[in-house]
Structure 1
Amino acid sequence: MDRRRFARRVVISLGIAWVSPRSLSQSTHVPRLGMLINGGPGVTPAMTAVRRGFEQLGYREGADIAYESRFAEGKLDRLPALAQELAARKVDVIVTFGGPSTSAAIRATKQIPIVFAIVADPVAVGFVDSLERPGGNATGITSNDPQQAGQQMELMRMLIPGLRRLAILSDADIPGADASGLAPIERGNANAAKAMGIETRVLKVRLPDPDLEASFDAMEAASAQGLLILEVPVGMVHRKRIAELAASRRLPTLFSAGSADAGGVLSYGTKVDDTWPRVPVYVDRILKGAKPGDLSVEVVTTRDLVVNLKTAREIGIAVPPDLVKMATRTVE
């Protein structure tokens, strides 16, 4: 046989084996990835990051993986039915973004593996037994920082000397509420504030059409001196409108680090968008045989502090120099 022809055949064969992430077999099964999305159809940063991650792992859409997406279009009460639909379709893995979609998926199936992101505290809400050993059929990545609530209060106290009353804006649809009506992320911040002698008023609104004006009226009636916007669906989707309303009432704000583009005075913490590129890695390991209950939940720990001096000037407050020095980025 011609040596050059033989070498060319070997190279082609090796190339095919290297490109495909699946083991060489006669199976023609293409894994189907169910994606449960809070928003509507279209390109989103989360979906873009996930698809790019699979491409980097060597997955080709249609050949090595297929996407089956379901969209709640901001109506989170639709998530349970959409999750049940994916379960009935018997997709290979379900990917969820946020507490409401993860809760819906876990209720819909105990057999199909679930990989989550944007879940503040998966242990507190009961999605996993522990971060080290999830135990059930769900695992994933969290940007939850146990120290963040206390640090947020310290930042707000630096920004607003003598702070006594703080409003907290949250989402009525996040899971894990106790008898007080507060979910873990809400309790954590309320307790951190109480420890510093700060009184809090937690206001919950709901997608797709939150009555934000009424919430701000309630903040004003409670004489709130500042506003903390939690990293929850409504706070992310409507972040710019929230920042506009706060600025119109000269109310200093602290958003999550991932919502720095909203234009609040401060943005702090870990970022949910750091979790998205890790989702394909978890799915890949599950498709190769790993059990989700054995895969430790990964915790993102990098924190950012953005100080928006432009917004501060517009609402008439001076940001202390020591706080500016702490910033990883400032907006002039």
Structure 2
Amino acid sequence: MGRFTAAIAFLAVLLLFGAPAGSEAAGTAPRVAILCVPSCSGTTFEALLDELRNLGWVENATIVLERKEAGSRLDQLSVFAADLVRSKPDLIVAFTPQAVRAVKEATSDIPIVMLFVADPVGVGLASSLAHPGGNLTGVATLVPGAFMGKMLEVLRELLPHAKRVAAFLNPSSETLRLLFPREAPAAAAKLGFELDIINVKETNEIPGAVAAAKAGGAEALWIVGDPIFHSPPHRVPDLAAQARLPSIYLVRNLVQAGGLISYGPDFPGEARRGAHYVDRILKGAKPADLPIEQPAKYLLAINLKTAKSLGIEIPPSLLARADEVFE
């Protein structure tokens, strides 16, 4: 009987103290759900994870991450958002305006950190940048009122004699629906550009859009910025090269993949800043009390190989300002 009692006691000790390493963290660590468009991968997403680690949040040890990838199924974002909310995470990170809108409409209680939304106040996601209110905060992608004009200024410097530019827009992006007509036409007219607006709702429409731009006499493509144009990163640059159309992008990855030039936010840097919002909220801060940040700098990237293939000489002034040059 004494041996039996001792064995029971030993088993009790194992149950109390002998759990595998990390199992306690898995049970008590905060849970963060992430809604990604198009995927939870790549340089930007890794920047978010790396900065979280720098802040002490190690996946499956001090934090549990639940990833949900939308791919190109933007029409399913409300379903994905509802699934994440039902899982009752401590916080949700959402990438891109469509995903942020879906999550915001799915919950008014769970804190939300948004990334890559151009004008959160203009589209009604926040009361103001300084005082967001509600359950959402994060990092805005653009500074409304000037950025689109800056992109066109870069394009004008690159192509001093070009007249007609085809602008590719995804009409499902409410931010672009608001910002583009407010800013782009006046900036284009000032710089002597005629704009052809081509709406692209699905990735399978991109080849036809490039062909339509070429047939319409476009001398350049302006890929204003949306996830459907960014994945895979070589899709639009390859089509533009085949059509021999110089193109300007928002995302430097597309220039690395063969696009001509990009001018846009430091997306990995913004993701790292987003990690600090996650850290502060998990430590007790309220989203309503955390001001939304705006970009302090925009990055210029140029692909010299693509320029050579198109017979374009990059002005020294642009090369001098470039943050990254691909050869």
- TM-score, with structure 2 as normaliser: 0.84
Per-residue deviation, 1:187: 4.4
Structure 1 Cα separation of the partners of residues 269 and 168 of structure 2: 23
Per-residue displacement from partner, 1:201-241 (whole Å, max 9, x unpaired)? 2222234x332221012212321111111221012214312
The aligned residue for residue 159 of structure 2 is 160
CA contact (8 A) 2:248 2:260 kept: yes
Q: Which runs of 4+ in 1 moved over 4 A?
A: none
The aligned residue for residue 292 of structure 2 is 297
Per-residue deviation, 1:173: 2.6
Cα distance, 1:106–1:191 mapped onto 2, change above 3 Å: farther
The aligned residue for residue 66 of structure 2 is 68
Q: Which has a greater percent of helix?
A: 2
The aligned residue for residue 81 of structure 1 is 79
CA contact (8 A) 1:274 1:300 kept: no
Structure 2 Cα separation of the partners of residues 84 and 313 of structure 1: 48
Structure 1 Cα separation of the partners of residues 320 and 42 of structure 2: 33
Structure 2 Cα separation of the partners of residues 269 and 60 of structure 1: 30
Cα distance, 1:279–1:322 mapped onto 2, change above 3 Å: closer
Per-residue deviation, 1:176: 4.1
Per-residue displacement from partner, 1:6-52 (whole Å, max 9, x unpaired)? xxxxxxxxxxxxxxxxxxxxxx7431101112235x64333322222
Query: Any unmatched runs of 5+ in structure 2?
Result: 1-26
Per-residue deviation, 1:306: 2.1
The aligned residue for residue 92 of structure 2 is 94
Structure 1 Cα separation of the partners of residues 41 and 248 of structure 2: 27
2:253 aligned with 1:253? no
CA contact (8 A) 1:257 1:305 kept: no
CA contact (8 A) 1:256 1:271 kept: no
Per-residue displacement from partner, 1:89-109 (whole Å, max 9, x unpaired)? 221111001111101000101
The aligned residue for residue 31 of structure 2 is 32
Q: In the alignment, residue 96 of structure 1 is paired with which amino acid?
A: A
Secondary structure of the 2:83 match is helix
Aligned residues: 299
Structure 2 Cα separation of the partners of residues 90 and 49 of structure 1: 25
2:327 aligned with 1:329? no
Query: Which of 258, 262, 266 is the equivalent residue of 1:263?
Result: 258
Query: Which of 127, 143, 164 is the equivalent residue of 1:129?
Result: 127
Q: In the alignment, residue 34 of structure 1 is paired with which amino acid?
A: A
Per-residue deviation, 1:281: 1.2
The aligned residue for residue 106 of structure 2 is 108
CA contact (8 A) 2:38 2:227 kept: no
The aligned residue for residue 172 of structure 2 is 173
Structure 2 Cα separation of the partners of residues 284 and 240 of structure 1: 34
Structure 2 Cα separation of the partners of residues 71 and 151 of structure 1: 32
Q: In the alignment, residue 98 of structure 2 is paired with which amino acid?
A: P
Query: Which of 289, 309, 319 is the equivalent residue of 2:314?
Result: 319
Q: In the alignment, residue 148 of structure 2 is paired with which amino acid?
A: A
Structure 2 Cα separation of the partners of residues 327 and 62 of structure 1: 39
Cα distance, 1:33–1:235 mapped onto 2, change above 3 Å: same
The aligned residue for residue 3 of structure 2 is none
Per-residue deviation, 1:81: 0.7
2:279 aligned with 1:279? no
- TM-score, with structure 1 as normaliser: 0.83
Per-residue displacement from partner, 1:284-326 (whole Å, max 9, x unpaired)? 2112221111101112222222222221121122223333333
CA contact (8 A) 1:103 1:175 kept: no
Structure 1 Cα separation of the partners of residues 81 and 105 of structure 2: 8
2:52 aligned with 1:54? yes
Q: In the alignment, residue 37 of structure 2 is paired with which amino acid?
A: N
Cα distance, 1:310–1:262 mapped onto 2, change above 3 Å: same
Aligned Cα root-mean-square deviation (Å): 2.1
Structure 1 Cα separation of the partners of residues 73 and 82 of structure 2: 16
Query: Which of 207, 210, 213 is the equivalent residue of 2:204?
Result: 210
